[in-house]
Amino acid sequence: MAAACSNKIIDVFWHEGMVNHETGKGVFDSGTDPGFLDVLEKHPENSDRIKNMVSILQKGPISPYISWQLGRPAQVPELLSFHAPEYIDELVEADKQGGKMICAGTFLNPGSWDAALLAAGTTLSAIKHILDGHGKLAYALVRPPGHHAQPKQADGYCFLNNAGLAVQLALDSGCKKVAVIDIDVHYGNGTAEGFYGTDKVLTVSLHMNHGSWGPSHPQNGSVGELGEGEGFGYNLNIPLPNGTGDRGYGYAMKELVVPAIHIFEPDMIVFVVGQDSSAFDPNGRQCLTMDGYREIGRIVHSLANKHSGGQILIVQEGGYHITYSAYCLHAILEGVLDLPQPLLCDPIAYYPEDEAFAVEFVEATRKYHKEMVPFLKGT
């Protein structure tokens, strides 16, 4: 097996200190106890989910393809490439005061700030590993997640935008164009916000059609949020109909994402993954299975081979089913490795799908892009 995978290795960046971010218990992610429930569930973004992701990569059939790398905490000055100083000061002060709820569902508790710094620094180490020529595939296995964190605002369990920091480091290190492909079930609004005015970063987000969820998340993730100024047309939102599964996602990737990446021609791809778009996640309403995730991974692999010399930074975001998220991660990485056969069977497997609504939406979106997005006009 070692010889077979000598040219197919994913460097996984991880630090166990990230499990020390305690998010508490309550009614789903509210942190509240109504007083009439005998059993309060853990907050969905808890350490159990990430522990299973670590263990499946250590002990699962993909383990021979994994090389483990130790993560590190980010230094505060590194955060200022994406985040505003006053926002970072707010988080530092909240940590000094013993923590608080930063926004709905997003709790900075003792240990959380250190974990957030580890998530950011570990992701920066992963992209630098690629930029320095030490490997082509790197996966930042991190929590707290980051793609909702905007330059001046926490949101959706996220404090620091791990992927956004990595994108900026890639640009600062000489990359001319970076493409972000985000398949978390929720809109990667923070990453989009950070690069909304530049044509050097193409942000593509495939998410469920959830709209805005309050002051911390004013963006609605619609197809009409295209960017501004020089960045107009370089933020492509694909809010797939709720219930979209493997075939619908595959169609959207091939008909919307692939053509856009081919025209944009990035020299780095950042693949933002959340397994909360699975059929069984408590925090999403989409229907991907392992087969769908595996195929998306293969498509991203193909795009990287054509445009970025095979270089892909994978950044972990959501995924809240304690067991199935780990299985779906396994499938994603199988796809990114472009393995000829699945290594792991789906324990839940078949989920019925009618992709008609997704196909209709994709066709309408493609027409809209041709009319509205300058670099896609006439495609």
Phi/psi of residue 191, nearest 5 degrees: -65, -45
Tokens of 206: 């495939």
Set 15, 148, 217, 301: catalytic member: 148
Q: Are 143 and 159 in contact (CB under 8 A)?
A: no
Look at residues 337, 356, 181 and name the one whose alpha carbon lies nearest to residue 256.
181
Q: Where are the alpha helices (DSSP H) in the chain?
A: 47-59, 76-79, 85-96, 112-131, 162-172, 189-194, 246-252, 258-264, 290-307, 324-337, 356-372
Tokens of 191: 């990453």
Q: Are 31 and 41 in contact (CB under 8 A)?
A: no
Catalytic-residue membership of 148: yes
CA–CA distance, 160 with 145 (Å, rounded to integer):
8
Contacts of 232 (CB under 8 A, 6+ apart): 226, 374
Which residues are catalytically annotated? 148
